[in-house]
Amino acid sequence: MDYTIADENSSEQLDENNELYEHFKIVADKGQALMRIDKFLLNRIENVSRNKIQQTAKAGNIHVNGSAVKQNYKVRPADVVTVVFSYPPREIEITPEDIPLEIVYEDQDVIVINKQYNLVVHPGHGNYSGTLLNALAHYFKQTDQAVENGCGYLAHRIDKDTTGLLIIAKNELAQAVLARQFYEHSIERKYQALIWGTPKEETGTITGHIGRSLKNRKVMDVFPDGNYGKEAITHYRILEHFGYVTLVECQLETGRTHQIRAHMRHIGHPLFNDVWYGGDKILKGTSFTKYKQFIENCFKILPRHALHAKSLGFKHPTTGKHIFFESELPSDMLNVIEKWRSYTASRDNE
């Protein structure tokens, strides 16, 4: 049995970024008597209800020997049963709050938000209000929508200070279908990041398990030998060179907590102004007064790590149609990138 489920410690530093699903693999005994799969799973998995199993089967998330089955399937000896459960975060009362939202798309099953800077996704320790879900609870109430759970269900997360696109399911069935797509890595997610230095290759893939640091529990570390943490894969390509910093596109194959931030630090190129991963100091270039002032001005314009969830593609949970969204970089990132363009051009002309 393996699983991936959000660790609900969403402090300012640890607004989680991993998928909200749990995966089980169970092999039936050779002497297994014929038994409905819903009853079989009730007996094998703790803290799961029959209703949850029924919803999971309806979403196509219960497979036997590689094929999806219905809840009345009879388990046979040596059957290999795999299940992907979608799970909301730990229950916390969500109070509606009037917080502005940029809605990119909405229908009866999903809503896509372009999240702003300095907004935690879900209430948790240290952030019991002022979150995206509080904002959604208010929005759904104002628009008189009977959305399950009052604020919908998260399908994934992005960090408090990361901007960009995020999917929220309006009902549990939609969340379950999206969970399967996250588990199968079929969700398309591309980010843009400004990083210190320049990677050796124009394109590349960063691998290495990611887990909470053994030295500092507020950050994540990369464990290349795979003895700790969970598998993580990030593909990147360089978009633009600025001498001491580089604009890159990152495509996620997995969605671990702080994945891009941890992977980029691991290869020696932390995100620009990333306080928790060492990017909030001058890492490239000489520290003469004029350059130091330029960097400090950039940090003031962009008071966060330079990361934006730019595009998002997925199969609609009800229609099955592939839908794709893109968002513009926020003004703070755009302004800093333009400053770097001007700085680089002035150096080239010297």
Residue with tokens 């990132």: 333
222 within 8 A of 210, measured Cβ to Cβ: yes
How far does CA 227 lie from the centroid of its chain?
23
pLDDT by position in tens, the chain (length 350): 232 323 333 333 334 445 577 788 999 999 899 999 999 999 888 888 888 888 888 888 999 999 999 989 999 999 999 998 876 555 678 899 999 999 999 999 999 999 999 999 988 767 778 999 999 999 999 999 999 889 999 999 999 999 999 999 999 899 999 999 998 889 999 999 999 999 999 999 999 999 999 999 889 999 998 889 999 999 999 999 999 999 999 999 988 999 999 999 999 999 999 999 999 999 999 878 899 999 999 999 999 999 999 999 999 999 999 999 999 999 999 999 999 999 998 876 65
Structure confidence at residue 1 (pLDDT): 29
Find out whether 256 and 269 touch, Cβ atoms under 8 Å. no
Q: Which segments of the chain belong to CATH 3.10.290.10?
A: 21-86
d(CA 2, CA 8): 18
**CA gap 74, 191 in Å, rounded:** 44
The pLDDT of residue 48 is: 85
Q: What architecture does CATH give domain 21-86?
A: Roll (3.10)
Indicate the pTM of the whole model.
0.85
Q: Whole-angstrom Cα distance, residue 322 to residue 58?
A: 20
Kindly state the tokens that stand for 140.
């759904």
Question: How crowded is the C-beta side of 225, counted as CA atoms within 13 Å?
Answer: 1
Q: Give the pLDDT confidence score for residue 14 in this predicted structure.
A: 38
Indicate the Cα dihedral angle 222, 228, 231, 237, nearest 10°. 10
161 labelled catalytic: no
Q: Which of 15, 159, 274, 280 is catalytic?
A: 159
Q: Measured on CA atoms in the order 303, 304, 310, 314, is the torsion positive or negative?
A: negative
pLDDT given for residue 327 in this prediction: 97
User: What's the pLDDT at 348?
Assistant: 64
* 3-state SS, one letter per residue, for the chain: CCCCCCCCCCCCCCCCCCCCEEEEEEECCCCCCCEEHHHHHHHHCCCCCHHHHHHHHHCCCEEECCEECCCCCEECCCCEEEEEEECCCCCCCCCCCCCCCCEEEECCCEEEEEECCCCCCCCECCECCCCHHHHHHHHHHHCCCCCCCCCCEECCCCCCCCEEEEEEECCHHHHHHHHHHHHCCCCEEEEEEEEECCCCCCEEEEECEEEECCCCCCCEEEECCCCCCECCEEEEEEEEECCCEEEEEEEECCCCCCHHHHHHHHCCCCECCCHHHCCCCCCCCCCCHHHHHHHHHHHHHCCCCCEEEEEEEEECCCCCCEEEEECCCCHHHHHHHHHHHHHHHHHHCC
Tell me which residue of 120, 157, 131, 116 sits closest to 13, measured CA to CA.
Answer: 120
Residues of the chain with CATH 3.30.2350.10: 189-309+332-348
CB atoms within 10 A of CB 150: 17
Dist CA 43 CA 204 (whole Å): 45
Q: Residue 147 is which amino acid?
A: V
- How is domain 189-309+332-348 classified at the architecture level of CATH? 2-Layer Sandwich (3.30)
**35-36 and 74-75 strand pairing:** antiparallel
If we measure between CA atoms, which residue out of 165, 113, 118, 132 comes closest to residue 303? 118
pLDDT for position 317: 95
Residue with tokens 């333009």: 338
Residue with tokens 């502005």: 100
pLDDT computed for residue 90 by the predictor: 54
Distance of CA 108 to the CA centre of its chain: 23
